[in-house]
Copies of this chain bind each other. A is one copy, B any other.
Amino acid sequence: MLRFFTAGESHGKGIFAYLEGVPANFEIDFDFINSELARRQRGYGRGGRMKIERDKVEFLSGVRLGKTLGSPILMAVWNRDYKNWEEIMKPEKGELPKEKVVSRPRPGHADLPGVLKYGFDDVRNVLERSSARETAGRVAAGALCKDILRRLGIEIGSFVLSIGSVKVPREMIEGKELKELFKLAEESEVRIPVKDKEVEERFKEEIDWARKKGESLGGTFLVFATGIPVGLGSHTQWDKRLDGRIAQGIMSIQAIKGVEIGLGFKGAELPGSKVHDEIFYNSEKGFYRLTNRAGGIEGGITNGEPIIVKAAMKPIPTLYRPLRSVDIRTKEPFEASVERSDVCAVPAAAVVGEAMVAITLLGALLERYPADDFKRLRELFP
């Protein structure tokens, strides 16, 4: 019922998010959405472009006098640098000088499979859309969904668990409140959930090392959602299981190569008695658990515990250190090397992860609760 798509090319006019099925009468918090866009752009190790850009959302439809109309919402994050790219990216007919045609596909990107799939002779026709710049649209739409969920008592956050070979020490996290960890991460330049100069330094050193070596780095992050009502998602059909939908949303983020829910791969090593969450009851809380190894989802349905998703991001494929590749026109080999770019985008990807979880959760929630009018939704929401 909630339909979400993005449109737009990285250096085109802008990135756009189409979001349909949002209840009417929800009051938009514009600052919140813009602050989410800013969170996507921050983080130690980002390239220069991130500093130039200060993304802002503009609503093109679906919102009037601050409130949703129930009609399709179209959001624009305009490219402030479009003027400089117009000649190359304009929709109008035009011929490019040969030297501006990109014929060199970069390993690890959609570049080569993309040109072969679509029959292109300019790699730019692929890379402009496959670029992670597209996630600005995801974050804009996700921010709106997060805000709606927040008003229903559902909080979504994330933090970084590792960058390259440096990991947040497990003992510094265990037993801590998710929201507390999130707060700490928001104050960290690398979005790690600890207030510890030494640890933070180790993360920065890893990034500095990579930059010096002409390398890039990936990492892992955790997304959580608290305040979840029981009963989102369903065990009744494979494509209604919430874990499957979350996995699709997360894996669809650029450069993500792994997704876990709850214990994930760790749980595969342990015996059953160490993995399942025993069930308790008291008259105040109703049913509850003392553990949350399932990550809040059993049988594809939320069980009321926080949702816990972890993701693995591969290093950014654009590095200074050359990778061998082949020119698609001449079929000559060359060495792919890029001068200036992000070294590490894990903190940003975590923010995108929040967005995809928010969109997926709101979708599932609107399948269970009345979805036309936010006032009515809030009344009936438990």
Q: Give the distance in Å from the alpha carbon of A111 to the alpha carbon of B124 in the complex.
A: 47
Q: Is A326 in the interface zone, CB < 8 Å from B?
A: yes
Contact check, B239 vs A252: say whether CB atoms are below 8 A apart.
Answer: yes
Contact check, A7 vs B279: say whether CB atoms are below 8 A apart.
Answer: no
Within A104-136, the residues touching B (CB, 8 Å) are 105, 107-114, 116-120, 124-126, 128-130
Contact check, A237 vs B5: say whether CB atoms are below 8 A apart.
Answer: yes
Interface string of A224-268 (1 = CB under 8 A from B): 000000110011111101011111111111101111111111011
CB within 8 A of A316: which of B130, B210, B217, B272? B272
Contact check, B117 vs A94: say whether CB atoms are below 8 A apart.
Answer: no
Minimal beta-carbon separation of A348 from chain B (angstroms): 15
Interface string of A349-382 (1 = CB under 8 A from B): 0000000100000000001111111011000100
Q: Give the distance in Å from the alpha carbon of A278 to the alpha carbon of B5 in the complex.
A: 32
Given contacts A65-B93, A119-B372, A324-B279, contact A257 B248 (CB under 8 A): no
Q: Give the distance in Å from the alpha carbon of A246 to the alpha carbon of B238 in the complex.
A: 12
Within A258-288, the residues touching B (CB, 8 Å) are 258-265, 267-273, 275-281, 283, 287
Q: Give the distance in Å from the alpha carbon of A375 to the alpha carbon of B73 in the complex.
A: 34
Contact check, B312 vs A260: say whether CB atoms are below 8 A apart.
Answer: yes
Question: Which of A46-54, A187-195, A293-301 faces chain B?
Answer: A293-301
Minimal beta-carbon separation of A335 from chain B (angstroms): 9
- In the complex, what residues of B have CB within 8 A of residue A247's CB? 244, 247-248, 250-252, 259
Given contacts A238-B138, A302-B113, contact A16 B162 (CB under 8 A): no
Q: Give the distance in Å from the alpha carbon of A5 to the alpha carbon of B324 in the complex.
A: 42
- In the complex, what residues of B have CB within 8 A of residue A283's CB? 331
Given contacts A260-B257, A273-B323, A281-B333, contact A370 B373 (CB under 8 A): no
Q: Is A35 in the interface zone, CB < 8 Å from B?
A: no
Which residue of chain B is the closest to A305 with respect to CB atoms? B113
Q: Is A66 in the interface zone, CB < 8 Å from B?
A: yes
- In the complex, what residues of B have CB within 8 A of residue A217's CB? 271-272
Given contacts A9-B61, A372-B118, contact A107 B299 (CB under 8 A): no
Contact check, B162 vs A268: say whether CB atoms are below 8 A apart.
Answer: yes
- In the complex, what residues of B have CB within 8 A of residue A84's CB? none
Q: Is A28 in the interface zone, CB < 8 Å from B?
A: yes
Pick from A25, A73, A112 the residue with the most CB of B within 10 Å: A112
Q: Give the distance in Å from the alpha carbon of A248 to the alpha carbon of B237 in the complex.
A: 12
CB within 8 A of A94: which of B66, B126, B256, B316? B66
Q: Is A164 in the interface zone, CB < 8 Å from B?
A: yes
Contact check, B74 vs A8: say whether CB atoms are below 8 A apart.
Answer: yes
Q: Is A14 in the interface zone, CB < 8 Å from B?
A: yes
Which residue of chain B is the closest to A218 with respect to CB atoms? B268
- Known contacts A111-B298, A251-B261, A278-B325; 15 further A-B pairs (Cβ under 8 A): A5-B239, A7-B61, A65-B91, A114-B235, A119-B373, A119-B375, A218-B275, A238-B356, A251-B259, A264-B312, A268-B313, A276-B317, A287-B326, A368-B372, A370-B380
